[in-house]
Amino acid sequence: MSGARRVSRSWLAVMVVLMLTACATRTPPPQAPDTLFWSGRLALNIASTPPQSISAGFELKSQQQSGELQLISPLGNTLARLHWVPGQASLEQGGQVWQDSSLDALLIRLTGTTLPMAALIDWLQARPTQVEGWSADLSQMGSGKLWVQSMPSHTTTLPQVTLRLVVEP
């Protein structure tokens, strides 16, 4: 067998392994009885200057006032982990850890904008929670799709934000 053929077969094998890894599903971790858990994919678009966009897998755990959001690459690597309890939040990203008393401050560090996290958890449960400046389309929650949009006004300085979630069953 020629050297070029061996290299070609080696690359083909590597590509097959990478594709299978990208398609692998993660098994949800064991949860306490009062823990809510969602996983799937998200797309966040922020109409800032310059525009920002985040696409990733996600795992979201929530227990009353605490929670954890993990963003995951297509290959299954953790891109960022945000953890919060009342009065304290931490963000792990790129080998660094930030701590703050404000979840919003770390959401801005992570995404470039604030997100209504408590309402997002309600919306994922198909609860029509009203949040000033935000709109959620719950009409497709039966098929695991949630669409959230900010509604900037002349009194806010936040950019237009669109968040799309596809939740895995």
* Predicted confidence (pLDDT) per residue in 129-150, tens digit: 999 999 999 999 999 999 999 9
What's the CA gap between 149 and 133, in Å, rounded? 9
Q: Is the pTM of this model over 0.85?
A: no
Rg over CA atoms, the chain: 19
Omega before residue 28 within 30° of 0, cis: no
* Predicted confidence (pLDDT) per residue in 92-121, tens digit: 999 999 999 999 999 999 988 889 999 999
What's the CA gap between 139 and 126, in Å, rounded? 9
Averaged pLDDT for residues 59-67: 92
- Give the pair of three-digit tokens for residue 155: 């009194």
* Predicted confidence (pLDDT) per residue in 6-52, tens digit: 433 433 333 333 333 344 444 445 555 678 999 999 999 999 888 88
Kindly indicate the confidence band of residue 1, based on its pLDDT and cuts at 50, 70 and 90: low
Q: Which CATH class is domain 3-26+34-167?
A: mainly beta
How many distinct helices (H) and strands (E) make up the chain? 3, 9
* Predicted confidence (pLDDT) per residue in 72-95, tens digit: 999 999 999 999 999 999 999 999
Instruction: Please name the residue that has the structure tokens 């009885």.
Output: 33
Neighbours of 108 (CB within 10 A): 15
What's the CA gap between 160 and 141, in Å, rounded? 23
pLDDT of residue 28: 47
